[in-house]
Amino acid sequence: MAKAIHSMIRVLDEARSTRFYGQAFGLEVAERLEFDTFTLVYLSNAESEFELELTVNKDRSEPYALGDGYGHLAFSVDDLDAEHKRFQEAGLEPRKIVEFSPDGKLLARFFFVADPDGYQIEVLQRRGRYL
């Protein structure tokens, strides 16, 4: 059986990105690997073994084109309303909370926020399959 262990995104500014993911989701640097032309930074927290890998290409100065194939990362939280308020107070500019209720039955409550490189992140209320 396969186990999902990380997802990788390319970022321009390591400090800016680690600060955002730390402030927004409590992710801390689990490991940092320095190479001649790039740096890999693995971020994690105590909630999950899954990690976010940041790749910082040292010769890159232009923002990455995210293209139309990128979807989003997702995090679940215990109290969506409190997290949304915390994001607002921290200046992270979360979008409005959405209640997704197809057929009148609540499936999910969530909001989106963009990281410093424009990657979209969904923040979901823990319930049902979104634990």
Q: Map tokens 């990281």 to a residue.
A: 115
User: If we measure between CA atoms, which residue out of 78, 33, 28 comes closest to residue 56?
Assistant: 33
- Is 122 considered catalytic here? yes
Contact 20, 120 (CB under 8 A): no
User: What is the 8-class DSSP label of residue 130?
Assistant: B
What the block records as the tokens of 14 is 């390591």
- Among 51, 53, 83, 122, the active-site one is 122
Q: Map tokens 């059986």 to a residue.
A: 1
The gap from C-alpha 82 to its chain's centroid, in whole angstroms, comes to 17
Distance CA 44, CA 24 (A): 12
Give catalytic residues, as residue numbers. Answer: 122
